[in-house]
Amino acid sequence: MVLSVCIVNYNGRDFLPACIESVLESDLDGVPEIVVVDNRSTDGSVELIRERFPGVTIIENARNTGFASANNRAFDAAGGRFVLFLNPDTVVPPDGLRRMVSFLEKSEGTAACGCRLFHPDTGRVESSARSYPELLPLFWNLTYIDRLFPSSPFFARYLMTHVPELETRDADWVTGACLLIRSEVFERVGGFDSRFFMYCEDIDFCYRIRRAGWRVRYYPAVSIGHYRGLSSARHRSAGEGELSVWGARQYAESVLIFYSGHYGKIKTVMLRMILIATSLLKAACWITVGSLTRGWVKGSSRARSYCAMIEPALMEIGPRTKGD
Give the CATH number for residue 187.
3.90.550.10
Residues 199 and 286 in one domain: no
Residues 277 and 208 in one domain: no
Domain-terminating residue out of 190, 211, 229: 229
- Number of domains the chain contains: 2
pLDDT at 236: 52
**46 domain-assigned:** yes
> What is the rounded distance in angstroms from the CA atom of residue 156 to the CA atom of residue 269?
23
> What is the rounded distance in angstroms from the CA atom of residue 74 to the CA atom of residue 235?
22
Q: Which amino acid type is present at position 123?
A: G
**297 domain-assigned:** yes
75, 8 Cβ separation under 8 angstroms: no
Domain-terminating residue out of 204, 229, 254: 229
Residues 188 and 270 in one domain: no
Q: Which residues contact 193 (CB under 8 A, 6 or more apart)?
A: 68, 201, 204, 205, 257, 261, 320, 321, 322
Domain-terminating residue out of 229, 248, 271: 229
Low-confidence ranges of the chain (pLDDT < 50): 238-239, 322-324
**109 domain-assigned:** yes
Residues 118 and 14 in one domain: yes
Residues 199 and 89 in one domain: yes
1, 29 Cβ separation under 8 angstroms: no
Task: Please give the model's pTM, rounded to 2 decimal places.
Answer: 0.93
**140 domain-assigned:** no
DSSP 23-57: HHT--SSSPPEEEEEE-S--SSHHHHHHHH-TTSE
**301 domain-assigned:** yes
Helix axes 201-211, 67-77, angle to 10 degrees: 60
Residues 42 and 182 in one domain: yes
In terms of residue numbers, what domain contains 118? 3-131+171-229
What residues are paired with 86 via a beta bridge? 7, 178
Q: For 24-59, what is each residue's pLDDT tens digit?
A: 999 998 889 999 999 999 999 999 999 999 999 999
Residues 126 and 15 in one domain: yes
**244 domain-assigned:** yes
Residues 29 and 93 in one domain: yes
Q: For 206-260, what is each residue's pLDDT tens digit?
A: 999 999 999 999 999 999 999 986 665 555 554 455 678 999 999 999 999 999 9
Residues 175 and 291 in one domain: no
Residues 54 and 120 in one domain: yes
**300 domain-assigned:** yes
Residues 43 and 82 in one domain: yes
Provide the 8-state DSSP code for 8.
E
Residues 50 and 118 in one domain: yes
Q: Which amino acid type is present at position 147?
A: R
**251 domain-assigned:** yes
106, 217 Cβ separation under 8 angstroms: no
Query: What are the two backbone dihedrals, phi and then psi, of residue 165, each rounded to the nearest 5 degrees?
Result: -60, -35
Helical spans, DSSP H, in the chain: 16-24, 45-52, 67-77, 96-106, 135-142, 145-148, 183-189, 201-211, 245-262, 264-285, 291-294, 296-307, 310-313
Q: Which residues contact 128 (CB under 8 A, 6 or more apart)?
A: 114, 115, 116, 117, 174, 175, 177, 178, 218, 220
Cα angle: 157, vertex 160, 165; to 5 degrees:
160
272, 314 Cβ separation under 8 angstroms: yes
pLDDT at 316: 82
